[in-house]
């Protein structure tokens, strides 16, 4: 019978990359929150922060993030932000999970309903030229609105649930695609860009499967359905390949992250970053005269207007 390395009781879980047997109690009370605390402190994510917004989608990662931040930093004021994207059969359950989670943690919740506020849903983009890459469209839509809401709330930082798997897959995709501008932007902390607060990723060193384990052990409410638009996405294929490599060589993802973190400071001085101006439509910071969000919204409006004529 395997014993927990931390307390000596019977262990239920094994973490291959760390060669660590651990019990459920030590995992949720010590191991997981301690790593979040160390990550936040190592990258100075909360330096000068008193009020932090947490993007809560309804999934396992953001549920684990909200709970673990509250555990690791009990004096920090947290505000959850949820975007209802209007995805039929998915968004309703996601919002219910978020509402239940925030009630249980006594955390303030701000809900933004895309259909009610702006008259469209993510699914509407299927009819546009962006329809084959809905995940990319969704990312643009979410980033812009989360940043705007966080700015309006006057928080010091916006935390997202991007985990180790997300980060390593994005780093590898940017590197193999030769997109070095994107590569050097994939940092755990992005500086504030008024009126937007800084963005932080406390799960930068947390494997996806451990965020799931944390949420399951604690019985946190989260939406177990997979978004119907995610099937066949590039990120899923990339993560599957990385999982195969990790299974053969435990710790591979951490080694890859460490290699990129050594590489990025060397690349940064030679990679020109775009100069920011302001979008001519929304007036918010943008590297182009028309920001990526407004460009997609304009394409959608043209399609919707044709359908009404």
Nearest-angstrom CA–CA distance, 170 and 179: 11
Q: Which residues of the chain have pLDDT under 70?
A: 231-232, 307-309
Token pair 């799960």 is at which residue? 203
pLDDT tens track for 206-219? 999 999 999 999 99
Q: What is the pLDDT of residue 277?
A: 84
pLDDT at 308: 62
* Region for residue 213 given its phi and psi (left: phi exceeds 0; alpha: psi -120 to 50; beta: otherwise): alpha
What tens digit of pLDDT does each residue of 142-166 get? 999 999 999 999 999 999 999 999 9
Q: What are the DSSP E strand ranges found in the chain?
A: 13-15, 20-22, 51-55, 77-84, 108-113, 157-159, 189-190, 198-200, 277-278, 285-286
The pLDDT value recorded for residue 132 is: 83
**Domains within the chain, CATH numbers bracketed:** 28-272 (3.40.50.620), 274-309 (no CATH)
Residue 309: predicted pLDDT: 54
Q: Are 221 and 100 in contact (CB under 8 A)?
A: yes
Terminal CA-CA length for the chain: 71
pLDDT value of position 307:
60
Residue 272: predicted pLDDT: 82
- How far apart are alpha carbons 99 and 111 in whole angstroms? 9
pLDDT of residue 134: 86
- Name the pTM for this structure: 0.93
Torsion angle, alpha carbons of 293, 294, 296, 297, to 10: 120
């Amino acid at each position: 019978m395997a014993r927990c390395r931390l307390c000596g009781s019977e262990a239920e879980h094994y973490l291959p990359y760390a060669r660590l047997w651990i019990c459920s109690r030590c995992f949720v009370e010590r191991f997981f929150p301690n790593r979040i605390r160390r990550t936040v402190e190592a990258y100075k994510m909360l330096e000068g922060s008193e009020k932090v917004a947490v993007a809560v989608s309804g999934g396992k990662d953001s549920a684990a993030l909200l709970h673990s931040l509250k555990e690791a930093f009990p004096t920090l004021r947290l505000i959850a932000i949820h975007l209802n994207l209007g995805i039929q059969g998915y968004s309703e359950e996601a919002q219910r999970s978020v509402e239940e989670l925030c009630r249980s943690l006594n955390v303030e919740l701000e809900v933004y309903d895309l259909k009610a506020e702006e008259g469209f849903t993510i699914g509407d983009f299927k009819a546009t030229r962006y329809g084959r890459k809905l995940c990319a469209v969704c990312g643009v839509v979410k980033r812009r609105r989360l940043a705007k809401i966080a700015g309006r709330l006057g928080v010091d930082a916006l935390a997202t649930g991007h985990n180790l798997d997300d980060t390593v897959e994005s780093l590898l995709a940017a590197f193999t695609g030769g997109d070095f501008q994107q590569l050097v932007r994939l940092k755990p902390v992005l500086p504030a860009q008024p009126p937007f607060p800084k963005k932080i990723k406390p799960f930068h060193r947390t494997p996806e499967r451990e965020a799931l384990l944390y949420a399951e052990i604690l019985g946190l409410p989260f939406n177990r359905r997979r978004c119907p638009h995610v099937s066949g996405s590039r990120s899923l294929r990339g993560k599957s390949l990385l999982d195969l490599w990790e299974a053969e060589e435990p710790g591979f993802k951490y080694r890859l992250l460490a290699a990129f973190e050594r590489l990025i400071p060397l690349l940064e001085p030679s990679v020109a970053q775009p100069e920011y101006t302001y979008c001519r439509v929304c007036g918010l910071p943008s590297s182009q005269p028309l920001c990526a969000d407004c460009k997609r919204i304009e394409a959608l409006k043209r399609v919707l207007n044709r359908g009404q004529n």
